[in-house]
Amino acid sequence: PPTIRREDYRPPAFLVDEVDLHLALHPAATRVKARLDLRRNPAAEPATALELDGEALKLVSLRLDGAALPPERVRPRADGGLSIDGVPDRFVLESEVEISPEANSELSGLYLSGGNYFTQCEAEGFRRITFFPDRPDVMARYTTTIEADRAACPVLLSNGNPDGAGDLPDGRHWARWVDPHPKPSYLFAVVAGDLVAVRDSFTTRSGREVALAIWVRQGDEDACGHAMDSLKRSMAWDEETYGLEYDLDVFNIAAVSDFNMGAMENKGLNVFNTKYILARPETATDADYEGIETVVSHEYFHNWTGNRVTCRDWFQLSLKEGLTVFRDQHFTADQGSAAVKRLADVRRLRAAQFPEDAGPMAHPVRPDSYVEINNFYTATVYQKGAEVVRMMRALVGEAGFRKGMDLYIARHDNQAVTIEDFAQAMQDASGVDLTRFRRWYAQAGTPELRVRDSFDAATGRYTLTLSQSTPPTPGQPEKLPVPIPVRMGLIGADGAERPGAGVLLLEEAEQDFTFEGLEAKPVPSLLRGFSAPVKLSGLSLEQLGFLARHDTDPFVRWDSGQQYAVAEMLRLVEDFRAQRPLDLPEGLAASIAALLDRAMDDPAFTAEALTLPSEDFVSDQMPVADPEAVHAVRQFLRAAIGTRFAGRFAVLHAELADHGPYRIDGAAMGRRALRNACLSYLGQAEGGEGLRRAEAQFNTGGNMTDVLAALRVLADSDSPAREAALAGFHGRWKQHDLVLDKWFAIQAMSARADTLQQVKALVGHLDFDLRNPNRVRALIGAFAAGNPSQFHHASGEGYRFLADSVIALDAVNTQVAARMVGPLGQWKRQDARRGALMRAELARILERPGLSKGTFEKVSKSLA
């Protein structure tokens, strides 16, 4: 398959001003008529032919300015598109095609889910609906008429504002929608079916009333409150923070169970995975509630960052995604505990993006090439992209950033632009030169930041020497230094802050920063708030322990504790390999004790700080991973800590029980998080008391957070209560897709040695469905990406299972299949034997005839 390169970008030869679409919906044979007003683009090189993208379309008719096109002027392309020769400078093209929603298991284009129709057009799904120049720099105004059977599809929705509806013969009806805002084709959407609305309204600050509706299946109306509340808070926040108001009369959200990703920001008609809409205390965990707020706000914020100002081409994806993730992170931080939110965001970045940046798929935030764009909806484009925007704000200041956003929107409203345009707006508005900073968009790899320090007692001068380097990544052997904002402070031996706190800007490979007037050598607190997405090294175990206890910055306090624990865990890994007995390190025990002493100061923080670094995070700090040893050490520590502090965990677990009604504010969630962190330790402790508590909590828990935390403990155990709990849970929730996903995932992530066997058996379970991406992620994804010790089982059976799954999935849904390849791509991190087994499985996938280009790209790059 061809590689698409950023440097080959050319403006479109033809522009589309108006699109008039008519969809006559039918499960097997939907007819789509499109009327396009086209004109030659004065900014493009002259072209002889009009190029239209198309995929899986059956052409019925094609007319140019009212006349049928002779076949010799229409050349079918190998990729399913059409080239039309000899077109005038301005013309109207009318096409009619037939498509089959019921045969569409890709979930891209128009498809059926539970008898209802949904579309997904980002990135290149519109070409599966009609012939079109399907690229984001072709922005047009859309009028959409939908026609369907009234009984099967009482609800007919599209982008923009409603503009009429009526009856048709034979029990059919129609509805028309007009979107006044020009948009790229990837933001087109249609939803039709038997759905009900939960309605509300929002009055914008200029006094316009917006009708809000969340469309769900009957019976789910009671589960939309949190999503609706999140939406209204997002709308208000964007007005207050950026002066950005909503711009249509209606804002519709439709929820669907079969969806490739989390949600989609189609103009005026967001489509959401039900996972990010539906929540009741008895079915959704606190993490689910948080996820809903994040995704609802994210998609809403796209209305300006992505929709009104969109991307020129898909290399600019982070222009909308990095910026919008930054905006949703900022929004959530403003809603409650900013510090704990930051820890969660950093944990996620390190878990997903750092390994990506160090692996075979490493790419810059603005990639230079791709084969399949769907493979570039990555943690790098999203999460690292957000970190880059965050650093930009640190450099230009809060006021400069707001001015920059204002200028960006004013300059580029209704345009398709580049990351360069965004950086230029920030630079022009703030007056801060961002020339070097742009390297963050161009270079892949996680910079490594090293610190050394010295103190001259005679002069009271303290010197911090910071140095940086970025490891080579595929296609980028040499790296330049990047500007790294290092927010910092100095802590004295008494634990008090010393003068000197601020932001250091490391621009060169190495720089000294001096501080005068100190009476003794301080401990440096670096990267406060995680001010740059880098790996920091150079602090001693003693300094880390000190910072974990004394720093005023919650991020550094947490992170130092984590780094301290990693160092101890790595030492224990050596003991394990040398078959020496393992002991609970006294320093680690002391820091747990210190945390427990102040547990109730901030329960959410305590829960985060009590949680040991993940197995993957520890493995990532080793030259060669050893999943077995890391797992053994982490399990040993959990058991040892659980046993040593059993009394205190038990007291906290009892004290923190929820008595009143279920609440989803930060304080209540923090209490539940801490309570369940205690239960998790107790579950590993000697004596079985934790398992008894887990069983009781499972049976009486009044909310899904507590029930699931208990089930997780039982699922890891050999307790006789395990089977009964799993069976009971299945029986109780078998009708609830989202809850059943949890049942699959918990078993897939179990630490038990028979997990792979169980997972294989679950693939054959009646409730498993390869066509449902949520279910695939819950079982196969959770096993491969969330259970390192079982996935990397020395037999190689885990690898074989994943390869078999990818092969089977590729015939059903290529986007989901390609996304599953990731864990096999990490073979270079494993020992030679495991690495060879992983490579063999990748090679086996690659041999399959007819492999999709997305899976081909992921597998072939993984093997390189």
Using CB under 6 A, list all residues that contact ligand HT7. 120, 122-123, 260-261, 263-265, 298-299, 302, 321, 377
The answer to whether the beta carbons of residues 591 and 548 sit under 8 Å apart is: yes
Phi, psi of 112 (to 5 degrees): -105, 140
Measured from the Cβ of residue 369, the count of other Cβ atoms closer than 10 Å reads 14
Query: What's the closest the beta carbon of residue 770 comes to ligand HT7, in angstroms?
Result: 17
Toward ligand HT7, which CB reaches closer, 703 or 813?
813
Question: CB under 5 to 8 A by kind: which of ligand HT7, Zn ion, none does 323 bind?
Answer: none
Give least dist CB 1 to Zn ion, A: 26
Exactly one of 299, 321, 695, 857 is catalytic; which is it? 299
Amino acid in the structure at residue 364:
P
Calpha distance 284→279 (Å, rounded): 5
- Let me know the angle formed at the C-alpha of 413 by 408 and 417, rounded to the nearest 5 degrees: 70
* Nearest-approach distance from CB 294 to ligand HT7, in angstroms: 11
Contacted entry of Zn ion, ligand HT7, none for residue 377, CB cut-off 5 to 8 Å set by kind: ligand HT7
CA-based nearest residue to 118, from 253, 220, 274, 271: 271
CB of 27 within 8 A of CB of 13?
no
Rank residues 123 and 630 by Cβ distance to ligand HT7 and give the closer one: 123
Among ligand HT7, Zn ion, none, what does residue 120 contact (CB within 5–8 Å per kind)?
Answer: ligand HT7
Least Å distance, CB 455 to ligand HT7, is: 48
List of residues 6+ apart from 499 with CB closer than 8 A: 490, 515, 517
Rounded to a whole number of angstroms, the minimum distance from the CB of residue 215 to ligand HT7 is 17
**Using CB distances below 5 to 8 A depending on partner kind, what does residue 673 bind out of ligand HT7, Zn ion, none?**
none
Whichever of 305 and 755 has its CB closer to ligand HT7, that residue is 305
Shortest Å, Cβ 267 to ligand HT7: 12
Taking the complex as a whole, the smallest distance from the CB of residue 328 to ligand HT7 amounts, in Å, to 9
Instruction: Could you list the beta-strand ranges (E) of 297-447.
Output: 309-311, 369-370, 415-417
To the nearest whole angstrom, how small is the minimum distance from the Cβ of residue 5 to ligand HT7? 21
- Pick between residue 327 and residue 693 the one whose CB is nearest to ligand HT7: 327
261, interface contact from Zn ion, ligand HT7, none, CB < 5-8 Å by kind: ligand HT7
C-beta of 123 vs 526, nearer to ligand HT7: 123
Residue 374 beta carbon to ligand HT7: minimum distance, rounded to whole angstroms:
6
Query: Would you call 48 helix, strand, or coil by DSSP?
Result: coil
Nearer to Zn ion, 34 or 323 (CB): 323
- Provide, rounded to whole angstroms, the least separation between the CB of residue 135 and Zn ion: 18
| 250-256 vs 309-311, strand pairing mode | unpaired
Q: Nearer to ligand HT7 by C-beta: 53 or 299?
A: 299
Please state the closest distance from residue 295 (CB atom) to ligand HT7, in A: 8
Smallest gap from Cβ 298 to Zn ion, in A, equals 5
What DSSP string describes 419-466? HHHHHHHHHHHH----TGGGHHHH--S--EEEEEEEEETTTTEEEEEE
3-class DSSP state for residue 166?
Answer: strand
Structure tokens at 846: 């690659």
State yes or no: is 299 an active-site residue.
yes
Question: How large is the angle between the packed helices 225-242 and 317-335, nearest 10 degrees?
Answer: 100
Distance CA 25, CA 151 (A): 13
Q: Which partner, Zn ion, ligand HT7, none, binds residue 742 by CB below 5 to 8 Å per kind? A: none
Cβ-based nearer residue to ligand HT7, 235 or 264: 264
Report yes or no: 372 and 3 within 8 Å, Cβ to Cβ.
no
Which residues neighbour 392 within 8 Å (Cβ) at sequence distance 6 or greater?
401, 423, 426, 434, 437
**Residue number closest to ligand HT7, CB atom:** 261
Q: Which does 122 bind (CB under 5 to 8 A by kind): Zn ion, ligand HT7, none?
A: ligand HT7
Q: Write down the H helix ranges in 578-626.
A: 586-597, 603-610, 615-620
Nearer to ligand HT7, 321 or 372 (CB): 321
Range 775-778, long-range pairs (CB < 8 A, 24+ positions): 775/737, 775/740, 775/741, 775/744, 776/805, 776/809, 776/813, 776/816, 776/820, 777/741, 777/816, 778/741, 778/742, 778/744, 778/745, 778/748
Which tokens go with 261? 């990703």
Rounded Cα gap, residues 494 and 506, in angstroms: 28
As given in the structure block, the two tokens for residue 292 are 């809903």
CB 261 within 8 A of CB 774: no
Residues near 294 by beta carbon (within 8 Å), at least 6 away in sequence: 328, 332
Which spans of this chain sit near Zn ion (rule: CB under 5 A)?
A: 321, 324
Identity of the amino acid at 171: G
Of the pair 265, 857, the CB lying nearest ligand HT7 is at 265
Q: Which is nearer to ligand HT7, 322 or 554 (CB)?
A: 322
827: DSSP letter: G
* Residue number with CB closer to Zn ion (134 or 321): 321
User: What does 220 interact with, of ligand HT7, Zn ion, none (CB < 5 to 8 A by kind)?
Assistant: none
Structure tokens at 435: 């020339």
Structure-block tokens of residue 505: 């800007």
**Calpha distance 812→801 (Å, rounded):** 17
Q: CB under 8 Å to 250, separation ≥6 — which residues?
A: 161, 162, 210, 211, 212, 213, 268
Backbone angles phi, psi at 74, to 5 degrees: -115, 110
Segments of 185-280 assigned E as strands = 190-193, 196-203, 209-216, 250-256, 263-264, 269-273
CA dist., res. 611 & res. 343, Å (int): 12
Q: So which residues are the catalytic ones?
A: 299
